Amino acid sequence: MKVLVIGTGYVGLNTGVVLGFLGHDVTCMDLNKEKIELLRSGKSPIYEPNLDKMLELAYGNLTFTSDYDEADIPNTDVIFIAVGTPSNPDGSANLEYVQQAAEEVGKRLNDRFTVVVNKSTVPIGSGNWVETIVRDAYIEKHGQRPIHHYAIASNPEFLRQGSALYDSFYPDRIVVGASDSQAIDVLTNLYRPILNQDFNYPDCLPRPEGFTAVPLVTCDLASAEMIKYAANSFLALKISYINEIAHLAEKVGADINQIARGIGLDSRIGPRFLNAGIGWGGSCFGKDTAALVATAHEYNLSMPIIEAARDVNYHLREEFVTRVQNSLKILKGKTVTVLGLAFKPNTDDLRDAPSIDIIQKLLARGAKVRAHDPVAVPNMKSQYPELSIEYFDDPNKAVIDSDAILLVTEWPVYKKMDWKTILKDGKVKLIDGRNFFS
């Protein structure tokens, strides 16, 4: 099928590469020319395990452009809108880029039936809104109403950064929301190799044993949009729940790891997303919980459980710094080494990363901050130039003569450090924000 993906961020680029690998003819479009140049030269503009390799494998089926006219919209079967939807100050999503993409698409649609898919995480109801924008742009260009020339669908993405390609090839489910049955058929055909798991998998991402088929959930637009928010909010509150339990466990002398195992083995609860620590960060949980609460407010509803999950989560960062302070007594002038800056391992993404809040609070209390991260240091330097941090390439050097070492992101490399030597004279405090060390 002929596919266009608008936006080459995490979601768009992964979608394009995976569909290209599966044999579809994919154009990846982004207004950012630098990104497109990099992609044309075969390089990924984002850090994601296996992405460079997959880009190479799918390269023959991929075209990159930053020009809508070059994107051949009139001959395209499926158009994914996967542009950014940053948060507005009130927590609602900024849909400026979605609107722009929908207008550009609407102007160029022609007689061929095209499915326009909202892949960006958009507020509930955006599918209908995009439909209106596409239709108005179409009418303006053609001077007449479109007659079944296109349909809008919602196909939310559940991939996790750091394992985005694995999640795309081997998802727990694919959700497609649309009121038009032909749109659902088109997307079912598009995803058939994944649904049936009959594609030849790439060596770098072998199919897990026993993984034979993927459930397809088809529903209306609003339900598909809400599935995404409800799933992320549930995962976010699961993490906040275990962190709340962890607080009490610490007071009564119980072990949160044993508790998580003990409750996670109940199949109604499940073992995943029960790692206690300094809580969630990243591009989705904070944004999506805020957006759900903001949507509820528009309907005069409150969402006390989700709001509580947010409060618990963001308070953890302050509590972590208090733990450091209690341990060192005085922070002023003390050297504190932060291990890990990215919001989680295997990504260089700093969006809503706990490290940022923690470092800001440490600096405000007069600590000297050193930091190491295997991949996120360049982003930290460019995005937070005002933070006075001494960066190290080698974590073993970063910890020399530190008063405290803070494990903020659980990169595997930190397990391999020579902890016996580092901790031998008992002077340095190791404060583990991720329950990473035994």
CB of 167 to ligand UDX, least distance (A): 7
> CA-to-CA distance for 27 and 280, rounded, in angstroms?
34
Site string for ligand UDX, 19-58 (x = CB under 6 A): ----------------------------------------
What x-and-dash track marks residues 281-300 binding ligand UDX by CB under 6 A? Answer: xx-xx---------------
Query: Taking Cα atoms as reference points, which of 398, 418, 426 lies closest to residue 339?
Result: 398
Min CB(246)–ligand UDX separation in Å:
11
Question: Across the chain, how many H-helices and E-strands are there?
Answer: 16, 13
The C-alpha atoms of residue 376 and residue 46 are separated, in whole angstroms, by 11
Q: Is 161 in the site for ligand UDX (CB under 6 A)?
A: yes
Which is closer to ligand UDX, CB of 158 or CB of 201? 158
Is 284 assigned a catalytic role? yes
For residues 144 and 272, give the distance between their C-alpha atoms in angstroms, rounded to a whole number: 52
Dist CA 64 CA 35 (whole Å)? 9
Scan for tokens 């790891």, then name that residue: 257
Choose between 102 and 159: whose C-beta lies nearer to ligand UDX: 159
The C-alpha atoms of residue 55 and residue 60 are separated, in whole angstroms, by 9
CB of 357 to ligand UDX, least distance (A): 12
Nearer to ligand UDX, 175 or 274 (CB): 274
Q: Which is nearer to ligand UDX, 57 or 231 (CB)?
A: 231
| Smallest separation (angstroms) from ligand UDX to the CB of 293 | 17
DSSP 195-224: HHT-S---TTSPPPTT-----EEEE-HHHH
| Phi, psi of 352, deg, nearest 5 | 55, 30
- Stretch of 153-161, 210-218, 390-398, 421-429 contacting ligand UDX, by CB under 6 A: 153-161
Alpha-carbon distance of 12 to 413, in angstroms, equals 29
Give me the catalytic one of 28, 204, 219, 284: 284
The stretch near ligand UDX (CB under 6 A) out of 145-153, 201-209, 216-224, 280-288 is 280-288
Residue choice 48, 103, 157, 403 for contact with ligand UDX (CB under 6 A): 157
Q: Of 123, 207, 221, which is closest to residue 171 (Cα–Cα)?
A: 207
169 interacts with ligand UDX by CB under 6 A: no
Q: What is the DSSP string of 311-368?
A: HHHHHHHHHHHHHHHHHHS--TT-EEEEE--SSSTT----TT-HHHHHHHHHHHTT-E
Residues 383, 128: Cα–Cα separation, whole Å = 36
Q: Which residues touch 73 (CB under 8 Å, ≥6 apart)?
A: 4, 79, 104, 105, 108, 109, 110, 114
387-416: contacts with ligand UDX (CB under 6 A): none
Of 332-371, which residues contact ligand UDX (CB under 6 A)? 343-344
Alpha-carbon distances, residue 60 vs 286, 307, 362 (angstroms): 37, 47, 49
Alpha-carbon distance 303 to 292, whole Å? Answer: 8
Indicate the residue among 157 and 403 with the shorter CB distance to ligand UDX.
157
Our finding on whether 160 is near ligand UDX (CB under 6 A) is: yes
Q: Would you say 68 or 280 has its CB closer to ligand UDX? A: 280
Question: What number of chain residues touch ligand UDX (CB under 6 A)?
Answer: 20
Interface pick for ligand UDX out of 280, 320, 392, 436 (rule CB under 6 A): 280
Map residues 257-276 to x or -, x wherever contact with ligand UDX holds by CB under 6 A. ----------------xxx-
Segment (H or E) for 187: helix 181-190
DSSP for residue 385? T
Q: Looking at 154, 232, 402, 435, which residue binds ligand UDX (CB under 6 A)?
A: 232
Residue placing its CB nearer to ligand UDX in the complex, 23 or 262: 262
Residues 233-252, mask of contacts with ligand UDX (x by CB under 6 A): --x---x-------------
Contact positions vs ligand UDX (CB under 6 A): 157-161, 232, 235, 239, 273-275, 277, 279-282, 284-285, 343-344
The residues assigned a catalytic role are 284
